[in-house]
Amino acid sequence: MNINGTPTRTLRAHREQRVIDIIDQTRLPHALHWLRVATLDDAAHAIRAMQVRGAPLIGATAAYGLAIALSSDASSTHLANAGELLRSTRPTAINLHWALARMESVLQPLPAAQRCAAAWQEASAIAEEDVLQNAAIGQHGLALLRQIPHRQAGRLNIMTHCNAGWLATVDWGTALSPVYAAHDAGLAVHVWVSETRPRNQGLLTAWELAQHGVPHTLIADNAAGILLRQGQVDAVIVGADRIAANGDVANKVGTYLKALACADNDVPFYVAAPRSTLDFACPDGAAIPIEERESDEFRRVHGLDARGVPSALQQLPEKEAVANPAFDVTPARLVNAIITERGICSASSRALLALYPEMSAPK
Ligand code: MRU
């Protein structure tokens, strides 16, 4: 994706120095600030504090976190402990667990002296594959978008939720990759971006769409229903943090309500995700762990004050009880199709297995 007209990735690995640089997403959309990750604790903190976020990017960052950890101590004990620490950072996105399991399966059998180089190589392979897979999702999604009838003349209106774009991956994004592909192919596309309370990942989506020059409009989460009802949305595309074997989809809280409103208004609801988001060991959505985040996220609103200084304002009395589930599950029956790097399929175990036959016997 382009930042100021320059193709840019969200993660830069400096193998010689044994460090990576990430964008501190807690400072967006107000400041684009690159942050150095030089230790295992830096990597774990970046994921837990959501300096990096989005399922595929969390996976790639964890892989590099393991490589950084092995740069100082490549013993089996440290490998196991580092994996455990990184795995504990966030529960719902399966990409984190997938990336760590892949790293460990390569590294564990090796002698300690070979592990560090192998870890950097495997982490780099994970990041490169993410870029290629997301680009392929973009092309498959573009073919789908070309077939969708426009409800309003002049432009194709896509709605998305949360940020499943460039910032959630190493490049291109999942749900936004077809949007970038469509825009770059000359289709007149406009994106309705829902704010995504309480962490407002929609602001990240709006920021990156603006960087790439894609027309878009931010809406409050609760405005989605009226726009769908008024025929102002041709399709909804979201990402996923985990897709269970039966096609149920865990994604940012609020996704399920959009899928319900799509079904009621005959608007197609699509999920875009790479192989690393599929969890065939998880039979259905009920088995997906849903992250409950700290209530402070809900209690305080963040932004710039009148002087342009980042500030937080308390928006409710301390004694109010608050629940803050970060994800929800959309049942497979509400998903019209899943857009993957291998093609488009229905949300069912049969269709997913037809695309990914190697997953029929999960380890
Ligand atoms: O809690 P986050 O910001 O890490 O949320 C995860 C997500 O980015 C979304 O749920 C997204 O739609 C799926 S990740 C491409």
118 and 191 housed in the same domain: no
Handedness of CA 109, 110, 115, 119 (dihedral sign): negative
Look up 296 and say whether it is catalytic. Answer: no
pLDDT at 361: 65
pLDDT of residue 146: 97
State residue 12's pLDDT score: 97
The residue whose CA has the least distance to atom 9 of ligand 1 is 252
Contact 269, 236 (CB under 8 A): yes
Domain boundary, last residue among 100, 132, 164: 132
Does residue 276 share a domain with residue 190? yes
Task: Give the list of residues 6+ apart from residue 62 with CB closer than 8 angstroms, or none.
Answer: 43, 47, 86, 87, 89, 96, 99, 100
Number of domains within the chain: 2
Q: How far is the CA of 53 from the centre of ligand 1 (A)?
A: 7
Q: How far is the CA of 137 from the centre of ligand 1 (A)?
A: 17
CATH number of the domain at 185, please.
3.40.50.10470
| Regions of the chain short of the pLDDT cut 50 | 362-363
- Domain end, chosen from 81, 103, 132, is at 132
**H-state helical runs in the chain:** 40-48, 55-72, 76-87, 94-107, 112-147, 177-184, 201-212, 224-229, 255-264, 296-299, 349-355
Is 146 among the domain residues?
yes
- Helix, strand, coil percentages (3-state) for the chain, rounded to 5, are 45, 20, 35
In this structure, the residues whose C-beta lies within 6 A of any atom of ligand 1 are 53-56, 162-164, 168, 174, 201, 238-241, 251-252, 326
Reduced to 3 states, what is the DSSP secondary structure of residue 237? strand
Residues 237, 173 share a domain: yes
Under a CB-based contact definition with an 8 Å cutoff, are residues 240 and 94 in contact? no
Q: Are 202 and 195 in contact (CB under 8 A)?
A: yes
145 and 127 fall within a common domain: no
Q: Give the Å distance between the CA of 58 and the centre of ligand 1.
A: 9
Are 121 and 161 members of one domain? no
Distance between CA 11 and CA 18 in Å, rounded? Answer: 14
Same domain, 181 and 269: yes
- Asked whether residue 107 falls in the same domain as residue 144, the answer is no
Which residue has its alpha carbon closest to ligand 1 atom 12?
A: 239
Give me Rg for the CA atoms of the chain: 20
Q: Are residues 125 and 150 in the same domain?
A: no
Atom of ligand 1 nearest to the CA of 161: 12
Query: pTM to 2 decimals?
Result: 0.96
> Which atom of ligand 1 is nearest the CA belonging to 53?
4
Give the neighbor-by-neighbor strand order of the sheet with 11-14. Answer: 11-14, 19-23, 34-37
CA of 203 to the centre of ligand 1 (A): 13
Residues 201, 302: one domain?
yes
362 within a domain of the structure (yes/no): no
Q: Tell me whether residue 363 is in a domain.
A: no
Residue numbers of the domain that contains 202: 138-355
Backbone phi and psi for residue 300, each to the nearest 5 degrees, phi listed first = -115, 140
Residue 229 falls inside a structural domain:
yes
Q: Judge if 110 and 238 occupy the same domain.
A: no
Question: Distance between CA 183 and CA 241 in Å, rounded?
Answer: 25
